Structure formats: C-alpha cells, structure tokens
Amino acid sequence: FHLFSHSSVSHRFIAKPCALGLKVQANGPQKAQPNAILEKVFTAITKHPDEKRLEGLSKQLDWDVRSIQRWFRQRRNQEKPSTLRKFCESMWRFTFYLYIFTYGVRFLKKTPWLWNTRQCWNGYPYQPLMPDLHYYYLVELSFYWSLMFSQFIDVKRKDFGIMCTHHILAVTLISFSYITNLTRVGTLIFCLHDASDIVLEAAKMANYCKCQKLSDLLFLTFAIVFIVSRLGIYPLWILNTTSFELYEALGNFPALWVLNVLLMVLQILHCLWSYLIIKTAYKAISKGKVAKDSRSDVESSSDEEETVPRSKAPHSTMASNGTSGANGTNGYLTGGTCSEEH
C-alpha cells in the first residue's frame, strides 16, 4: 500500500512536472478512426482478425484489407500508455532502485558477509534478524509484489512470459529465504540485481526525452553492468557460496536444494535476457544508435504515415460508419519512427 501511494505521489507531483519541463510528449498513440462495426469486432470478437474475417469486413465496409489491418493496429496501439506515462513510471522505478541500492550498499558495508560470503552461514540458523535487514527485505518484497500485480494491467510486451516468471520467482525466493532465515545471502542478491536496473530506467527516461546519444550511452552501460553482474559476479559470488560454501558449512538439508534450484532458474532468466541485450547492443554499435527493441510496446509498419483508411469508393467512409469525423493525428506514430523503450 505504501509503495502504491508513494508511486502515485511521485507520478503526480514529481515525475509529471519533470516530464513536462523536459518536453516529454504528453499525448498517446494515434487514435483509430471511429467505426461502429470494426469497434464491435475489436471488443467482442478479436483484436487480431484473420485473413478470412478481414476479407469479410472489407466487403461489408467497402474498405481495402490493408486499411482494415491499419485500423486494427491503430486501435490496439491507442490502448497503450503515452510517452508521458511511461516516463513517469520509469522515473518512479529509477527513484526506487536508486534509493534501495544506496540503502543496500550502506547496510552491507557494515556486515561481515559482504567480502567474506562464508559469513552468510556462520551461526546459521541462529542468526538474529537485524531491524535494518528486516526493513530491507520487506521493502524489496513489497516492490516485487507490486510488480506482480501491475504486470497484468501494464502493456504486454514480447517478454511478458519471462517477466511474469521472474516476478513469481522473485516473490517465491524472497519469501522462502525470509522464512528459512537465509537472509544474509538474500541481501547480496538484492544489491547485485538493483545495480543494473538503475541504469536501465535512466536509459528509458533519456529515450523518452529524445536524448538519443545519452540513451544509447546509458543502454550500453546497462548492458555491460548487467552482463558482468548477472553472468559473472552472480555465479562466481552467489551460486558459489550457496552451492559449495553452504554445503561445506552446514551439510545437506532440504532448504539448500530448494534455494539452489530457485537461484539456478534465476540464472537461466539472466542468460535469456543477456541474449536480448547483446542483440540490441550489437544493433546499437553496428548502426550507430540503439535500434527498436524487440520488446517494443507499439506496433508499427511501413504504411503508418497514412492516417485515414482508404476506401474503394469516395462515399464509403460516411456510409459505412455513420460519422464524418476524420482520424486525427497527434504525431506519435506518424512523421517517422517513434522512440521505443529499450
């Protein structure tokens, strides 16, 4: 509840004024031309009509198939969040990650297990739950629970399945480690993961502000930090202590296997994301800028500059939908390729 309230306050009184001051685009994707027949199909039947249905609608409305495909694409896109909303969301996440990472570093500097991971198991399971550690865990768990619920109302990207798996895994792993008092190693995992997320959200904000060079630089920095931390430090530091040092210190017990299975699944997700990041970074280097990400939340095509569907007969638009309203243009999709989220 507190995270949601802080998010709302941040959006309204901090992020939105900053976005408007940086001239972030406030309007959303281009709206589709009002059409009662197509709207009924979109809301009641399908948002992605097949070829047979497209041909039937083409005959019924006297529109060509390409225009109907464009209408459905624009109609799907208009439900997507505006650049302003995405900037506010990224600013909120950037603020959270920066705060919690700073908190984690300050907390871990005072602990003996930061540089000696064997201390994670010293005295286990009779390790006191310090107030600072307790707070660290509750804030992280609350944040991932918020992501768990918000993913179903946010725009669904192509990696929705991976993200959904990650959020479920994160909540399960945090809860399990808290219940079994394996919290010391948990704090190391928190701090390691939050480091790259700060840079990613900063890259998104620069992208929404149309600061392309800064966005590219931040994204490449994010790629380096992510790969080093998730494919280098994580297995050598975290998996090493949970797989070998934990076994040497305490022997074999059920929680050890459950913990390591969860951590290995997390490493598989790291590998999948690293592939996508390397792919995007390669395009950035080869083309001189970060290309559109495969996770893009706005559909596009080569014919998006045509904002009004073409009809086979001059009178067909008026006759078929009963309205003379032209399809307005807000510049979000037309006039060149729109900026996309990394």
Distance, in Å, from the CA atom of 46 to the CA atom of 171, rounded to the nearest integer, reads 34
SS3 content of the chain, % helix, strand, coil (to 5): 65, 0, 35
Number of Cβ within 10 Å of residue 99's Cβ equals: 13
Same domain, 42 and 188: no
In order of 148, 161, 204, 324, the CA distances from 216 in angstroms are 29, 26, 10, 43
User: Does 24 fall in a domain?
Assistant: no
> What is the reported pLDDT for 314?
36
Distance, in Å, from the CA atom of 309 to the CA atom of 306, rounded to the nearest integer, reads 7
Distance, in Å, from the CA atom of 66 to the CA atom of 78, rounded to the nearest integer, reads 18
Same domain, 232 and 137: yes
Same domain, 190 and 146: yes
- On whether the CB atoms of residues 89 and 60 are closer than 8 A, the answer is no
- On whether the CB atoms of residues 267 and 235 are closer than 8 A, the answer is yes
Same domain, 162 and 268: yes
Model pTM score: 0.71
Could you write out the DSSP letters of every residue in 295-321?
T-SS---TTTT--S--BSSTTHHHHHH
> What is the reported pLDDT for 305?
39
Distance, in Å, from the CA atom of 45 to the CA atom of 41, rounded to the nearest integer, reads 5
Among 48, 79, 110, give the residue marking a domain's end.
Answer: 79
Same domain, 166 and 67: no
Given a cut of 50, the residues of the chain with pLDDT beneath it are: 1-2, 4-9, 13, 291-296, 298-342
Note down the domain range covering 42.
30-79
Same domain, 199 and 50: no
> What is the reported pLDDT for 102?
97
User: Does 103 fall in a domain?
Assistant: yes
User: Does 88 fall in a domain?
Assistant: yes
Distance, in Å, from the CA atom of 124 to the CA atom of 265, rounded to the nearest integer, reads 25
Pick the closest to residue 91 from 34, 8, 166 (CA basis): 8
User: Does 254 fall in a domain?
Assistant: yes
Pick the closest to residue 206 from 281, 289, 285 (CA basis): 289
Phi and psi dihedrals of 313, rounded to 5?
-125, 145
Question: For the domain that residue 47 is a member of, what is the CATH number?
Answer: 1.10.10.60
On the question of a cis peptide bond just before residue 29, with omega within 30 degrees of 0, the verdict is: no
User: Does 191 fall in a domain?
Assistant: yes
Look up residue 126 and give its two tokens: 């009779």
Look up residue 108 and give its two tokens: 């871990």
| CB-based contacts of 4, cutoff 8 Å, min separation 6 | 146
In order of 30, 64, 177, 316, 320, the CA distances from 312 in angstroms are 23, 7, 64, 7, 12
> What is the reported pLDDT for 26?
60
User: Does 322 fall in a domain?
Assistant: no
Same domain, 216 and 154: yes
How many structural domains are present in the chain? 2
> What is the reported pLDDT for 227?
95
User: Does 15 fall in a domain?
Assistant: no
Residue at token pair 């725009």: 155
Same domain, 126 and 240: yes
Same domain, 90 and 141: yes
Same domain, 60 and 138: no
Same domain, 196 and 254: yes
User: Does 113 fall in a domain?
Assistant: yes
Distance, in Å, from the CA atom of 52 to the CA atom of 1, rounded to the nearest integer, reads 47
Same domain, 67 and 164: no
